[in-house]
Structure 1
């Protein structure tokens, strides 16, 4: 059995609280892609699949699920990034629809390897526009 002194115990408790307090979904990186948005993987260039608020995304390989992610809705929340004040409001959650696959998208992501590639409107809704890569929590709805 490991015994911790008062100060060490509080450090462990504080660290655990910070690490585990709000993570209820998957954690990953998000970036964005710019116009023209031409979804090929989910709808074969059918732009009618875009939601009217332009809050949509392309699935990274981790959530692509052999195309089953097409049309799925995800709640996305900005957690942080390399630069300070990356998130416009860390409590804000947006709902995005998967309309494409990031790896085969005609419009290329600003950075590769993201879990989710957001439209510019979706990215700017949760992050400051100076960012190009943010940490996000995302949950399928």
Structure 2
């Protein structure tokens, strides 16, 4: 492959990555524990453990059911665990509704939360994008 084409591919990949970061929304996340069924979106269907419940901020009258979001921890919401983030992201599928009064944007499954942050934090600041 020619040097010019390689350079063009690298520039295109960089632009795509920067666009994805620019489109990320910020919010907060907590977690809930099993059992995860029946969720609001799918009844008793087993959607695995990389799942989440959406709050009114993104629920959209069930519009988010089945959508996937990449979620990344960006910081603490309290000083009990000042550095909760693990530096990774996780993709979760929205399968449930976090009822009114929900104090976060996304309520992650315990497994999804643990993949990106220390569960002792309880609540974290996040960036999330639909994928």
- Which TM-score band (shorter chain)? 0.7 to 0.9
Structure 2 CA distance for partners of 1:60 and 1:30, relative to 1, 3 Å: same
Decide whether the 8 Å contact of 2:31 with 2:107 is kept in 1.
yes
Aligned length: 108
Decide whether the 8 Å contact of 2:55 with 2:102 is kept in 1.
no
Distance 1:134 1:127 in 2: 8
Structure 2 CA distance for partners of 1:65 and 1:135, relative to 1, 3 Å: same
Q: Which residue of 87, 94, 100 corresponds with 1:98? A: 94
Task: Name stretches of at least 5 consecutive residues in structure 2 with no aligned partner.
Answer: 1-20
Structure 2 CA distance for partners of 1:113 and 1:23, relative to 1, 3 Å: farther
Deviations 1:5-58, CA, capped at 9 Å, x for gaps: xxxxxxxxxxxxxxxxx65311001000011112332012x232x13xx11100
Cα RMSD, aligned residues only: 1.8
TM-score normalised according to structure 1 size: 0.70
TM-score normalised according to structure 2 size: 0.76
